[in-house]
Amino acid sequence: MPENYEESGYLHLEDFFTENELQDLEKILIPFHNVWLKNNENGFQSGLINSHSITSSEYIEENERLHIFRFISQEKIADIVAGLFPNKALFLNTQLFFDPFNKEQNNYWHRDIQYTGMSLEQQQENICRQNVIHFRIPLKPELGIELVPASHRIWDSEEELETRLSLNGRKPSDKLTTGKMRPLNRRDLLVFSANMIHRGLYGNDRFTFDIIFCDDIPDFKKFIDVRDQPTKKELEFLNKNLFLM
Ligand SMILES: O=C(O)CCC(=O)C(=O)O
């Protein structure tokens, strides 16, 4: 399968970031994560595998927030966003993924759209015309993500649907014959459509930063929390195109 986003739904770009860029980011994200873990002990022990909304967090300083906004809207990321979205795109949110507390916890095949409350028919229609795209930035070598290539535009086979929806005795963590694992290294960027059937691969004490972009349409704007977006004053220092104005 060629690494062509329109066809496969993902792009794996090796050595995309410099070590310095990652170290500057880690100076913010590691302390953030340590405070998050302390304040979310119960959630972590009950199964959480990610935190989110780092840009609106009280665990980071104002200058750190601006640094993250600059990172998100830097030219080499903005250029990829412009090439992938058919129309204007917006920054939606950030997430940090880590390993579960319980090392036996199963991962789960899903499409992000299945959590929006839409009917299956609406989901099937919308994956063909709406775009939510993750930019995954691993801060450690990790097992990565397992993806079903081309599923960002193609609806499930029987095996895929039964697995992700726990039907007919299948479980969301069961093997899919169509799954492709993408192990990732530090400095890589994995761009993948949230429409795709995918699952995280836990292990190696992973620590990975996701930036999410979406179409600039009312359906998605309702999921944007303005607190995660730059203020008017912050926008003066940023490439404004990717943010809510
Ligand atoms: O890495 C993971 O555990 C899951 C990632 C995922 O499902 C997502 O980013 O939508």
- Which residue shows structure tokens 């940023």? 238
- Tens of pLDDT, residue by residue over 171-215, are 999 999 999 999 999 999 999 999 999 999 999 999 999 999 999
Residue where the block lists tokens 């792009």: 11
Quick one: how far is CA 211 from the chain centroid? Answer: 6
How far, rounded to the nearest angstrom, does the alpha carbon of residue 208 sit from its chain's CA centroid? 9
pTM of the model: 0.96
Domains of the chain: 8-228 (2.60.120.620)
Probe residue for ligand 1, chosen from 114, 152, 198 as the CB with the greatest number of ligand atoms within 8 Å: 198
213: nearest Cα among 223, 204, 203: 223
* Cβ–ligand 1 contact at 142 (below 6 Å): no
pLDDT tens readout for residues 72-124: 999 999 999 999 999 999 999 999 999 999 999 999 999 999 999 999 999 99
For 3-15, what is the mean pLDDT? Answer: 93
Query: What is the 3 state secondary structure string of the chain?
Result: CCCCHHHHCEEEECCCCCHHHHHHHHHHHHHHHHHHHHHCHHHHHCCCCEEECHHHCCCCCHHHHHHHHHHHCCHHHHHHHHHHCCCCEEEEEEEEEECCCCCCCCCCCECHHHHCCCCHHHHHHHCCCCCEEEEEEECCCEEEEEECCCCCCCCCCHHHHHHHCCCCCCCCCCCCCCCEEEEECCCCEEEEECCCCEEECCCCCCEEEEEEEEECCHHHHCCCCHHHCCCHHHHCCCCHHHCCC
Per-residue pLDDT band at 245 (split at 50, 70, 90): confident
How remote is the CA of residue 2 from the centroid of ligand 1, in Å?
Answer: 23
Cα 200 to ligand 1 centre (Å): 5
| Residue 9 reports pLDDT greater than 90 | yes
How does strand 50-52 pair with strand 10-13? Answer: unpaired
- Are 109 and 172 contacting, i.e. CB atoms less than 8 angstroms apart? yes
Cβ–ligand 1 distance for 179 under 6 Å, the answer: no
Does 2 have pLDDT greater than 50? no
Please give the average per-residue pLDDT across 3-21, as a whole number. Answer: 95
Residue 3 has pLDDT above 70, yes or no: no
Identify the CA nearest to 224 among candidates 111, 87, 138, 132. 132
**Reported confidence tier of residue 153, pLDDT bands at 50, 70, 90:** very high
The Cα–Cα gap between 203 and 17 comes to: 22
The predicted structure's pLDDT at residue 1? 36
pLDDT tens string 39-67 = 999 999 999 999 999 999 999 999 999 99
Q: Is 152 in the pocket of ligand 1 (CB under 6 A)?
A: no
Averaged pLDDT for residues 211-230:
96
- Residue 29 above 90 pLDDT? yes
Q: Which pLDDT tens digit goes with each residue over 136-147? A: 999 999 999 999
